[in-house]
């Protein structure tokens, strides 16, 4: 056992469980790749100021949860707590928005970091797959992303999730609501930190999960009652497009995302089988974020889906994914000459797309066959001195136990045929 352990609130992904995480990432990414989204990868750390401006100085993410540090050169950096600000920064830096083909549609996958109180479904290191459509104000884009996320979850076999949908208004109507909400909050019995947050961004108070706060918010004014005509029409079109696609959602007038950059459409995917950490993903429109970080006006929309919580949702529903076999054939050589011949044959099989492994370390037949069974392989190839003389290899079906001799030159084609 090592002297060291994974840091508190983090985890290691190990086989065989890691195969499920890979399958979830692939399932979320698949509909994006088929809808014009290109892959982007950004650094694991960025300027602290990028997140302070983009995510919002009043958010818990920036004030309490960011892993911030100073480099030897004096730069203030932070491990990325979310993906949107980094993706937009990269797109602006590369001038992707100037290519004349808007929106710029990007997807990404990676690890993110927040200093939170560790519990099941909430870690200090977590994995997300995200998508962003940058540079277009179109209800169809908002609807597209909601539909693609729904498609990804259903392709995994998930059924017991709900989609919550709301509109947060825009720079025209939100200030009026902000003032009404602040007036309401000033009349409540709130602690100093919460009152301070209410003055900076009162919508953050609505997202406060403490029961003592939520009990007092029952009569809080709703943003939907303050939406301007343009925001109402925009939101209604999003609702109509999503509904026409056969995707079921719930209107949630109290839904507020935990980041400051959201405008208009906001949505969340929740799974009631996960307890307090019920949100498995979410996103929305962020039309002003580009300007917040020094770029031009680029209305945009996106989402991020949690891989960790999606795996927990699968477990809660009892869904077992059909995972591809890591090994289809396990080769067992008996003797030095058999080792040389069979290793060359395994290399040939791999080049032809057959997933094959080898009994390394000079194991005897009994130990090698135990390793073959543990590997999950469907077939074992056994080669001894007599087999070499006869020009054959023994092909054993590890499910039925049937064993047949196959010509050495025919074995690759035979396995390709059997494995499809």
Q: pLDDT (tens digit, 9 = 90+) per residue, 258-272?
A: 566 788 999 999 998
Nearest to 302 by CA among 316, 290, 285, 279: 285
pLDDT at 178: 86
Q: Is residue 196 part of a domain?
A: no
| DSSP letters for 46-111 | EEHHHHHHHT-TTSHIIIII--EEE-TTS-EEEE-S-SHHHHHHHHHHTTGGGSS-PSEEEEEEEE
pLDDT at 100 over 90: no
pLDDT digits (tens, 9 = 90+) for 407-417: 999 999 999 99
257 is in an annotated binding site: yes
Where do the H-state alpha helices sit in 169-292?
Answer: 174-186, 192-200, 203-206, 211-214, 229-244, 289-292
Tokens of 114: 């927040």
Q: Is residue 9 part of a domain?
A: no
- Alpha-carbon gap, residue 203 to 159, rounded angstroms: 31
**Same structural domain, 308 and 400:** no
**Same structural domain, 386 and 283:** no
The pairing of beta strand 45-47 with beta strand 125-134: unpaired
Q: Is residue 282 part of a domain?
A: yes
pLDDT digits (tens, 9 = 90+) for 282-316: 999 999 899 999 999 999 999 999 999 999 999 99
Reported as a pLDDT band with limits 50, 70 and 90, residue 58 is low
41 is in an annotated binding site: no
**Same structural domain, 310 and 334:** no
Tokens of 397: 């079906």
128 is in an annotated binding site: yes
**Same structural domain, 290 and 341:** no
Tokens of 146: 């909601």
108 is in an annotated binding site: no
3-state secondary structure of 148: helix
pLDDT at 187: 87
pLDDT digits (tens, 9 = 90+) for 344-357: 999 999 999 999 99
236 is in an annotated binding site: no
pLDDT digits (tens, 9 = 90+) for 151-172: 999 999 999 999 999 999 998 8
Q: Give the CATH number of the domain where residue 52 resides.
A: 3.30.930.10
- For residue 401, the enclosing domain spans 329-419
Report phi then psi at 106, rounded to 5: -130, 150
- Alpha-carbon gap, residue 292 to 236, rounded angstroms: 27
Of 317, 344, 376, the residue at which a domain comes to its end is 317
**Same structural domain, 340 and 272:** no
> What does the CA dihedral 372, 375, 380, 385 come to, rounded to 10 degrees?
-50
Contacts of 5 (CB under 8 A, 6+ apart): none
55-64, 110-119, 133-142, 245-254: lowest mean pLDDT where?
55-64
84 is in an annotated binding site: yes
pLDDT at 143: 98
Report phi then psi at 310, rounded to 5: -65, -40
Cβ(198)–Cβ(185) below 8 Å: yes
> Is the pTM higher than 0.85?
yes
The domain tally of the chain equals 2
114 is in an annotated binding site: yes
Distance of CA 14 to the CA centre of its chain: 18
- Alpha-carbon gap, residue 208 to 198, rounded angstroms: 11
**Same structural domain, 255 and 400:** no
Of 296, 317, 338, the residue at which a domain comes to its end is 317
Tokens of 157: 């076999």
Return the percentage of the chain with pLDDT > 90, whole number. 72
**Same structural domain, 313 and 333:** no
pLDDT at 7 over 70: yes
**Same structural domain, 240 and 376:** no
pLDDT at 8 over 80: yes
pLDDT at 250: 97
- Alpha-carbon gap, residue 16 to 139, rounded angstroms: 41
Cβ(84)–Cβ(302) below 8 Å: yes
């Amino acid at each position: 056992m090592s002297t060291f352990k994974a840091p508190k609130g983090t985890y290691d992904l190990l086989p065989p469980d890691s195969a499920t995480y890979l399958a979830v990432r692939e399932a979320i990414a698949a509909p994006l790749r088929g809808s014009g989204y290109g892959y982007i990868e950004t650094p694991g750390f960025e300027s602290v100021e990028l997140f302070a401006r983009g995510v919002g100085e009043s958010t818990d993410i920036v004030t309490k949860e960011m892993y911030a540090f100073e480099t030897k050169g004096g730069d203030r950096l932070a491990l990325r707590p979310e993906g949107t600000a980094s993706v937009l920064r990269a797109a602006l830096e590369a001038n992707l928005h100037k290519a004349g083909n808007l929106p710029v549609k990007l997807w990404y996958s990676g690890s993110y970091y927040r200093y939170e109180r560790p519990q099941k479904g909430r870690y200090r290191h977590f994995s997300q797959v995200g998508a962003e459509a940058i540079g277009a104000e179109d209800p169809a884009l908002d609807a597209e992303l909601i539909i693609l996320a729904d498609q990804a979850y259903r392709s995994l076999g998930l059924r017991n999730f709900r989609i919550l949908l709301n509109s947060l208004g825009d720079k025209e109507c939100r200030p009026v609501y902000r003032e009404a909400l602040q007036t309401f909050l000033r009349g409540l019995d709130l602690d100093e930190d919460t009152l301070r947050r209410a003055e900076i961004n009162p919508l953050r108070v609505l997202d406060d999960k403490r029961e003592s706060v939520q009990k007092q918010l029952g009569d809080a004014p709703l943003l939907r009652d303050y939406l301007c005509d343009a925001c109402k029409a925009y939101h209604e079109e999003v609702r109509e497009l999503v509904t026409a696609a056969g995707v079921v959602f719930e209107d949630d007038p109290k839904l507020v995302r935990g980041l400051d950059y959201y405008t208009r459409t906001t949505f969340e995917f929740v799974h009631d089988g996960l307890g307090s950490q019920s949100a498995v993903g979410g996103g929305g429109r962020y039309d002003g974020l580009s300007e917040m970080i020094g770029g031009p006006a680029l209305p945009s929309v996106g989402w991020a889906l949690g891989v960790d919580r999606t795996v927990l949702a699968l477990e809660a529903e009892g869904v077992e994914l059909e995972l591809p076999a890591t090994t289809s054939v396990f080769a067992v050589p008996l003797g030095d000459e058999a080792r040389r011949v069979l290793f060359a044959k395994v290399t040939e099989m791999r080049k032809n797309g057959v997933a094959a492994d080898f009994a390394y370390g000079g194991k005897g037949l009994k130990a090698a066959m135990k390793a073959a069974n543990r590997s999950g392989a469907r077939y074992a190839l056994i080669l001894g001195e007599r087999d070499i003389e006869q020009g054959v290899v023994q092909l054993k079906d590890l499910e039925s136990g049937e064993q047949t001799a196959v010509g050495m030159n025919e074995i690759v084609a035979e396995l390709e045929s059997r494995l499809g």
